[in-house]
Copies of this chain bind each other. A is one copy, B any other.
Amino acid sequence: MRFELTKEYLEELISSIENNDVAQVKKYVNDLHPADIAEIFDEIDIEHAKFIYLQLDEEASADVMIELEEDIREQFLQVLPAKEIASVLDNLDSDDAADVIQELSESKKEEVFMHLPDVEQAGDIADLLNYAENSAGGLMATELVSINENLTVTECINEIRKQAEELDEIFFVYVVDNDEILQGTLPLKKLLITNGETKIKNICDSGVIAVKTNTKSDEVANIMEKYDIVALPVVDSIGRLKGRITIDDIVDVIREEAEKDYQMISGISGDVESGDSIVHQTKARIPWLVIGLFGGIFGALVIGGFQTQLGNFPKLAMFIPLIAGMGGNVGIQSSSIIVQGLANNTLGFESTFQKLLKELSIALINGLICSGLLMAVSIFFTHSFRFTLTASVSLLSVIIFASLFGTFVPLSLNKFKIDPALATGPFITTTNDIIGMLIYFGMGKLLMGI
């Protein structure tokens, strides 16, 4: 029942396209889900993709458009005439249509608006464009079924029939009062099992959870996830029903948030996939490498300042990677716990000071274990108590510093409304490297008198 994209399938499809065999191509893609067609487009040349796209019927081409990866959609939008785009938008939900239209140039945007056949939908889309992209308003669609609370069940069913014609599926019916203020939801199930004369007011669920149009998208995601909500109504500042957000859009938000944080911690800027071009991948990876490089050069200068010590005792170099590496590891651990806590809204009620105090205790335990182990092992092959002591005390100090620093930085970034995930990037690691070297060589000077 489910389509699995194979290399063989692709090869046959491409050869049909190259033979200009329209009937065969149609046969290949006719029964596919739009998401599968979009997946095929991701794997083949844009020219081949266009050939297929032109064979699709109106509704399918709209559905494929919204499933496309952003870079491929951009290429499509550039070549399609405004009239064609307008007819695609006409087949989309308002939120998807707004997403597509946002990717157009200003002049093309206007042209497309002029060609939109349904004035009401054009108005809805234009309204949606006013909301910030990462807000509930930017995520919501205006297509929904809303019913006045004073109708009876029978009147309500008639009204739903009327409103539902334009909708793919209905999960909830929203109940509003005479001022369009959201009063509750009406599960379709209740319509099926309630007497026709009953007033909607008396059977609707009034404990409905809603968000404001300006609620941030990550908060929307947290709410829908926490309360297991499939479709969340969005209201304006006085409570009037403006739209609804469905869980599939939120799944994308959750996935994107997680990927963004993952990319940050792995030192990659932007959305990169293994299949992306060499240039695209290089662009996403080089910035962090250059930052790391300059951090490393700075570290080299710091070590260069301790040449006398290194000359007197060359073995000192032995623990440089260990001290630097452990500082990095500990720092990333601490920051990532804070970053995840901020993302999931699970940081609890401890103050920054309490958090740092707790982190200090953890660092002390971890630091004592690690430096104790290092001491036990190092004495065997360095044969020097002072050198062993220098390495161990430095390790303990670095672990404590890196823990506190790794906790403090993301909390501070967040306070200044900067993405706290920045703290898991190369900045922290590089700073820890440098501080680590200062501590280690300082200790060497102090404890070994070199």
* Contact in complex: A292, B43 (CB < 8 Å): no
Within the complex, which residue of B33, B226, B310, B322 is in contact with A35, where a contact is CB–CB below 8 Å?
A: B226
Whether B265 contacts A266 by the Cβ 8 Å rule is: yes
Q: Say whether A300 contacts B285, CB under 8 Å.
A: no
Identity of the chain B residue whose Cβ is nearest the Cβ of A164 in the assembled complex = B189
B161 lies within 8 A of A193 (CB): yes
- Chain B residues whose CB sits within 8 angstroms of the CB of A187 once the complex forms: 169-170
A7 at the interface (CB under 8 A from B): yes
A63 to B228, CA, bound (A): 12
**In the assembly, what is the distance between CA of A278 and CA of B358, in Å?**
7
Chain B positions within 8 Å of A258 at CB level: 254-255, 258-259, 262
> CA–CA, A281 to B359, complex, Å?
9
Q: Which residues of B contact A350 (CB under 8 A)?
A: 274-275
A282 and B170 in contact (CB under 8 A), knowing A2-B223, A274-B355, A370-B290? no
Question: Contact between A366 and B289 (Cβ–Cβ < 8 Å)?
Answer: yes
The minimal Cβ–Cβ distance linking A99 to chain B, given in whole angstroms, is 14
Give per-residue flags for A343-373: 1 if the beta carbon is below 8 A from chain B beta carbons, else 0. Answer: 0101111100001001001100110011001
Other than A229-B248, A278-B365, A290-B370, give 20 A-B pairs with Cβ distance below 8 A.
A2-B223, A164-B193, A188-B188, A188-B192, A262-B262, A263-B336, A266-B332, A268-B336, A274-B341, A274-B355, A281-B362, A286-B370, A290-B373, A299-B325, A304-B315, A307-B315, A310-B310, A317-B317, A320-B324, A321-B324
